[in-house]
Amino acid sequence: RRVPVRAVPAELDQSLRALLAAVEEGRGALGELASGPEQARAVLAGLGELEFRGLIRRTFGGRYEASAP
């Protein structure tokens, strides 16, 4: 499911912006976003931050997708 592009909050740092863009492009599973355990921890922290801000949501099967604008 593709979600229309929204304005990205200015206060997001570059790593969160990149993670949000990846989720918006349809790469919503941890295995698609991280290549190893260290990177997985950082990605999970970023996903949690984006979810807390209401920019993404967790769906069935643990995938993430962009929230509706």
Phi, psi of 57 (to 5 degrees): -140, 155
pLDDT by residue (tens digit) across 26-41? 999 999 999 999 999 9
Residue 1: is its pLDDT beyond 60?
no
What's the pTM?
A: 0.85
